[in-house]
A and B are shown apart, each in its own frame.
Chain A
């Protein structure tokens, strides 16, 4: 805004001409570099799309890889008519939705208790939640692997090689973050609001559902989007704990089944990757502002 004001003012006030010229040039350079960076950042997804619209013959032909001469939807048709791919998609969808519901239930209630109802050790627990959030899954998958074997020996419950095991595992990644972000949102709600409710005779549960959840709704939406994105994208746990093709989730399924030895069917791989990236991208396109608010509010991992 300031830039345009200065730029238009320049014609009437030649004294400040050099400064406004500087600003206009700064603006031009900014756009120039932004375009360059946008090309860099958008190149892989665009190339995914380009490749997914090509036939195998065109992909292996030695010509401009950035140009499609015979666009076709054959890859999409092939992939979506494959039972296997639909199973991956279903597994991913069920796992992600269950994880979102489970995470939000656990974390909203716990965050309320931690932010408002101080109890013995609640401050330590809040710090503990944050520390848990910093523990990466690469540290936990090996002991979990062994623990699952132990559960199988002791209780006869086979956790290995089942897609629903992911519903138990993913909350370890999503709950700490969601709780942390919700503690922040709840703490920003004025104390008078819930005190008034308590004086009016509301129970703690009513205070949570009637006051905190509606007021902190933007935070809840942001946490939900994040939980979904993390659950959808998780790669290590399903790779380590599931092997049968009927039990794989989408990212692992695409990578382990479409890449067969040295035979790379790149048209289908890119189609699969694009379809796998679609749900988070669509959610992001519609709820971008919540997404960014959550990103900056929660001191996210990156």
Chain B
């Protein structure tokens, strides 16, 4: 301000505005430079590859010739591809639903107990989320081991026969979902617990004075108050679960007979291990529609929340 005044002793309004404009520009230039590393990183290593994937998907295996939708047509004609589509949807949707339910239930139990014990329980229950997924999946792989399964040993006590956890298609599908739920539900628990704490106690008191049962309290008080956080957590989780890689790769590597492959692992198998980069790119691009839908909803929620504040 001081130097604007000094430079414009006559105080012509137009001149004043132009130098003010210059000042603004300087500030915005600094800001732009400060954000430049971020912009470069996003453009070169995220945006460009994402676009490049689309181009790659239109090439032939040797990447010498443009084949248009050839790779996609080829995929549509293959049974394995439809198996992968089916398994990806089954895997993501089932896992997210169970994660949400278990997270909700556990959050309630933690919320129920006296406040001073909550921190300890919360800390203990979040452990699966902290361990690197590849490492904890190894532990599950060992629990599921065909000949030394410690889980089957436990089940045998109750007279249940050994389960082929990763050996048979149906059970293998169950197992990858189980591990995913195990890793992901603590995250839901933490989010829902935070949401539960933000529900005003008076609402429950009013509800119990009106004679509401515990079920009515959950249905008419808790759920409506938590609707936003439930939706956004589920959408976030849907994205990562759909794009999962570690669990399936370590636990079954897609087997038996490709029955547990999801888009990420199959793209890896086809693109990197099979050496057909364009086909792999085409496979991974099938994740985009569901990601785009989820992202749109999340973004809408976030801008809505932003404008409320």
Chain A residues with CB under 8 Å of chain B are 1, 3-4, 26-27, 30-31, 33-34, 37-38, 40-45, 47-48, 51, 59-60, 64-66, 105-107, 109-110, 112-114, 117-120, 122, 125, 127-132, 134-147, 168-169, 171-172, 175-176, 179, 204, 229, 232-233, 235-236, 239-240, 251-252, 254-255, 264, 266, 269-270, 273-274, 276-277, 280-281, 284-285, 288, 291-292, 295-296, 299-302
CB distance from A141 to the nearest CB of B (A): 7
New A-B contacts (14) at CB < 8 Å, excluding given A135-B50, A136-B239? A1-B114, A30-B110, A37-B106, A132-B42, A137-B243, A138-B267, A139-B50, A145-B277, A169-B45, A236-B268, A240-B272, A280-B132, A281-B131, A299-B236
Q: Which residues of A contact B126 (CB under 8 A)?
A: 284, 288, 291-292
Q: Which residues of B contact A41 (CB under 8 A)?
A: 124-125, 127-128, 182, 186
A139 to B127, CA, bound (A): 28
Chain B residues with CB under 8 Å of chain A are 27-32, 34-35, 37-39, 41-42, 45-50, 52-53, 56, 63, 99, 102, 105-106, 108-110, 112-115, 119, 121-136, 138-140, 142-143, 145, 148, 150, 153-154, 182, 184, 186-188, 190-191, 194, 232-233, 236-237, 239-240, 242-246, 249-250, 263-264, 267-268, 271-272, 277, 280-281, 284-285, 287-288, 291, 294-295, 298-299, 302
Q: Is the interface of B mostly helix, strand, loop or mixed?
A: helix
CB distance from B140 to the nearest CB of A (A): 6
Whether A175 touches B148, Cβ cut-off 8 Å, given contacts A134-B239, A134-B295, is: no
Q: Which residues of A contact B246 (CB under 8 A)?
A: 235-236
The chain A residue with its CB closest to the CB of B153 is A65
Whether A113 touches B31, Cβ cut-off 8 Å, given contacts A38-B121, A175-B41, A302-B240, is: yes
Q: Which residues of A contact B27 (CB under 8 A)?
A: 117, 119, 204
> Once the chains bind, are A270 and B131 in contact (CB under 8 Å)?
no
- The 6 A-B pairs at the shortest CB distance, nearest first, are namely A136-B243, A233-B132, A302-B187, A138-B264, A117-B31, A119-B28
A274 to B39, CA, bound (A): 37
> Once the chains bind, are B236 and A251 in contact (CB under 8 Å)?
no
> Once the chains bind, are A47 and B143 in contact (CB under 8 Å)?
yes
CB distance from B37 to the nearest CB of A (A): 5
> Once the chains bind, are A235 and B142 in contact (CB under 8 Å)?
no
A222 to B209, CA, bound (A): 41
CB distance from B60 to the nearest CB of A (A): 14
A132 to B45, CA, bound (A): 10
Q: Which residues of A contact B264 (CB under 8 A)?
A: 136, 138, 236
Q: Which residues of A contact B112 (CB under 8 A)?
A: 3, 26-27, 30
Whether A301 touches B236, Cβ cut-off 8 Å, given contacts A129-B38, A270-B138, is: yes
CB distance from A53 to the nearest CB of B (A): 14
CB distance from B271 to the nearest CB of A (A): 5
Whether A146 touches B277, Cβ cut-off 8 Å, given contacts A51-B142, A109-B34, A299-B232, is: yes
> Once the chains bind, are B267 and A299 in contact (CB under 8 Å)?
no
Between-chain CB contacts (< 8 Å), 10 pairs: A42-B124, A117-B28, A125-B38, A130-B302, A131-B299, A134-B294, A269-B142, A277-B130, A292-B122, A302-B187
> Once the chains bind, are A143 and B113 in contact (CB under 8 Å)?
no
- Which one, B35, B128, B143, contacts A113 given CB within 8 A? B35
Q: Which residues of A contact B271 (CB under 8 A)?
A: 142, 145
- Which one, B127, B145, B191, contacts A281 given CB within 8 A? B127
The chain B residue with its CB closest to the CB of A238 is B134
Whether A235 touches B295, Cβ cut-off 8 Å, given contacts A145-B271, A292-B122, A301-B236, is: no
The chain A residue with its CB closest to the CB of B112 is A30
- Which one, A34, A130, A229, contacts B109 given CB within 8 A? A34
CB distance from B100 to the nearest CB of A (A): 11
A140 to B287, CA, bound (A): 11
CB distance from A204 to the nearest CB of B (A): 6
A54 to B28, CA, bound (A): 62
CB distance from A13 to the nearest CB of B (A): 17
Q: Which residues of B contact A4 (CB under 8 A)?
A: 114
- Which one, A65, A137, A285, contacts B150 given CB within 8 A? A65
CB distance from A276 to the nearest CB of B (A): 5
Q: Which residues of A contact B133 (CB under 8 A)?
A: 233, 235
> Once the chains bind, are A143 and B53 in contact (CB under 8 Å)?
yes
> Once the chains bind, are B267 and A302 in contact (CB under 8 Å)?
no
Q: Which residues of A contact B110 (CB under 8 A)?
A: 30, 34
> Once the chains bind, are A147 and B49 in contact (CB under 8 Å)?
yes
Q: Which residues of B contact A291 (CB under 8 A)?
A: 126, 130
CB distance from B304 to the nearest CB of A (A): 13
> Once the chains bind, are A266 and B142 in contact (CB under 8 Å)?
yes
> Once the chains bind, are B114 and A142 in contact (CB under 8 Å)?
no
> Once the chains bind, are B127 and A60 in contact (CB under 8 Å)?
no
A107 to B131, CA, bound (A): 25
- Which one, B47, B138, B191, B284, contacts A138 given CB within 8 A? B284
A158 to B166, CA, bound (A): 38
A187 to B48, CA, bound (A): 29
> Once the chains bind, are A171 and B41 in contact (CB under 8 Å)?
yes
> Once the chains bind, are A1 and B115 in contact (CB under 8 Å)?
yes
Whether A147 touches B153, Cβ cut-off 8 Å, given contacts A139-B288, A270-B138, is: no
A25 to B284, CA, bound (A): 50
CB distance from B242 to the nearest CB of A (A): 8
> Once the chains bind, are B131 and A280 in contact (CB under 8 Å)?
yes
> Once the chains bind, are A277 and B135 in contact (CB under 8 Å)?
yes
Q: Which residues of A contact B294 (CB under 8 A)?
A: 134
Q: Which residues of A contact B232 (CB under 8 A)?
A: 299
